[in-house]
Amino acid sequence: MQSGGSDEFSGRLGLIFATIGAAIGTGNIWRFPRMVGANGGGSFLVPWLIFLFLWSVPLIIAEFALGKRSRTGTVGTFRIFSGNKFAWMGLWTAWISTAIGFYYAVVTGWCINYFQTAIRGGLGSEVDTVQVWNDFLQDPLQVVFFQALAVIITMAAIWKGAKAIEKVNVTLMVSLFILLFAALFLAFVMDLDDGSLDGFVYMFSIQPQYLVQPETWINGLSQSAWSCSAGMGMAITYSVYMRKDEDTTLNAATMCLANNSISIIAGLTVMMAVFSVSDDPLSAVSGGSSAITFLVLPEVFAKAPGGPVVQLLMVTMFFLALSFAALTSMISTVELCVRNFVDHGIERQKAVGFTTLAIFLFGLPSAAMWILVDSETGVAFPQFLEVQDHIWGYGLMFSGLFIAYSIWKYGWNRYKVWQYENDITSFSFRDYLDHGVSSFRDDFINTGDNDWWIGKWWDYIMYLGFPIMFSVLILSYFSDLILNVSDPWNPANANGVSIILLFWGVTAGLFISMNKFVLVNRVTSMNSSLWPPNWDLEPRPLYRNVPEGAEVSIDTLPGGEDPFIVQVGDTLPATFVDDYGDTRTYSGSSIEAELA
């Protein structure tokens, strides 16, 4: 049942901090420095920045515009913008984010554990960091304890809704900025100690040979896409809480630029610290995400000039910042899932409780199963967790493609309406560009509330550039697996192609089959019978979270005329027309109308 009252952020600052918090995660602090080290320093920054404006910003603008008009989570947004048959696309988007959350909660627990270990002096110069890592990872009780702690903190942060999410993200993000700037200053002192600033120089030096390598550009695109959470549905979720006059374009640009700024600060901190103490800094910094974060960096910070106090301060600040970044991403991951339950009439506290419990339980295998030890290095690694990341990480690409599809479909529908209104039957590409392609931008982005007017360049990117970039990314990914992974087509190969296609195919098939019977309709029982022949279908209501004064029509959208898509507090229709054209009484209308 759905209770009354819409939820919203108090203003732009809260929205920006929430979205920045969602985008900034461990990937900014541990993956970005590794990508910089492995791809020629400043050479990597060139494609990374280019794809910020070709991929991330345009897609985040689209997400903000979609969510601001639909006022629902991902499932409802696709139901409204693409039509009832495509609600499953929103479920795919929500699932990918949630599935990543299963193991991301475990990683967040690692960060919290390393913070408390650091503050107790357990990562000093005399400590064997490999032994610390192995002892922790091979102790399931410890890993599960910190995983549970991460989930509990997340649950507490989102329990009360948008205002609570806003306050927590402001606190964590301000703290993160302070911690990273302090760590950056100390790393600068470390790098300056030998008089060379070689870490700083490498970070911004362009080596032309890297710019002619396709891998540099592919890595730049992938880092930009995943770092900004473009296509993840996070911006759709948080834009549900936007006030009417919030600017989608400025907020999207601010979020993405802030995200990249944090990456630069974290990258400089790591590069300068590693270059100042390591004999082979490039090998150390590009040695793998887990290795650089939990093995190399504690050793690096343990050698910081200034004695034990500065060394303790450095390693503690770094892992506290990493914990904050991980937690803000966890908050958005859980909220994305919760929002979809709330949209369909589940009380918020029940949805939060159910979602966090599910994330904890489904994350247990990543925490405790298949913990192996590398025979060459002697370093433990979580094989099950890495397989999950292998399967679901690239599923985000399809979420972005589905968002683009919604925009394409809206443009085509508006063009057909224009043809009908002007009694035109023949197709004209020029007319399609003017009255179809530009429709989404004109109707949902340049609405008069935006400080920045978006031109036709956005249409070119979404209609032409995005499919090309998606194709390059997906083809390069699978080509790399086929060419460089041994026995890639073996379904039992955890790093192969078949296991990805199998999980993707089964999941997509399941979600498509659920579209009619779960997402758009719900199964009801006639005569209170539990026997399947007595079951029937009736429309599933979708409740839009529309703040006061933000009411805008959705009638022109493919799913906008559905009478069972209502605002929070509105009554549901008393009857509906079934698949056979018969008018029937809706079983929940009177009860839900009273509670709404």
Its pTM stands at 0.89
Residue 73 within any structural domain of the chain: yes
Task: Give me the pLDDT at residue 3, please.
Answer: 45
List of residues 6+ apart from 64 with CB closer than 8 A? 235, 236, 239, 242, 248, 249, 251, 252
Task: Give me the pLDDT at residue 143, please.
Answer: 96
- Token look-up 């590069």 returns 271
Domain of 147, in residue numbers: 12-384
Task: Give me the pLDDT at residue 536, please.
Answer: 79
pLDDT tens for 22-81 read: 888 877 887 788 888 888 889 999 999 999 999 889 999 999 999 999 999 999 999 999
**Pairwise CA distance, residues 277 & 274, whole Å:** 6
Residue 185 within any structural domain of the chain: yes
CA proximity to 389, closest of 129, 100, 11, 47: 100
Residue 136 within any structural domain of the chain: yes
Between the alpha carbon of residue 486 and those of residues 103, 248, 374, 480, 481, the distances in Å are 25, 45, 17, 11, 9
Residue 593 within any structural domain of the chain: no
Hey, what are 409's tokens?
């479909």
Give the alpha-carbon dihedral of 440, 516, 99, 492, to 10 degrees. -120
User: By the 8 A CB rule, do 396 and 226 touch?
Assistant: yes
pLDDT tens for 351-396 read: 999 999 999 999 999 999 888 888 877 888 888 898 888 888 778 8
**503-506 contacts, C-beta under 8 A, 24 or more apart:** 503/391, 503/392, 504/391, 504/395, 504/398
The phi and psi torsions of 241 (rounded to 5 degrees) equal: -95, 10
Residue 400 within any structural domain of the chain: no
**Pairwise CA distance, residues 454 & 412, whole Å:** 20
Hey, what are 206's tokens?
């362009």
- CATH code where residue 371 lies: 1.10.4160
Total domains in the chain come to 1
Count of other CB atoms within 10 angstroms of residue 391:
19
Hey, what are 29's tokens?
């602090």
**Pairwise CA distance, residues 283 & 379, whole Å:** 16
Residue 464 within any structural domain of the chain: no
Query: In the chain, which residues have pLDDT < 70?
Result: 1-7, 10, 194, 284, 286-292, 525-535, 590-596
Residue 54 within any structural domain of the chain: yes
Residue 268 within any structural domain of the chain: yes
Task: Give me the pLDDT at residue 45, please.
Answer: 94
Task: Give me the pLDDT at residue 254, please.
Answer: 87
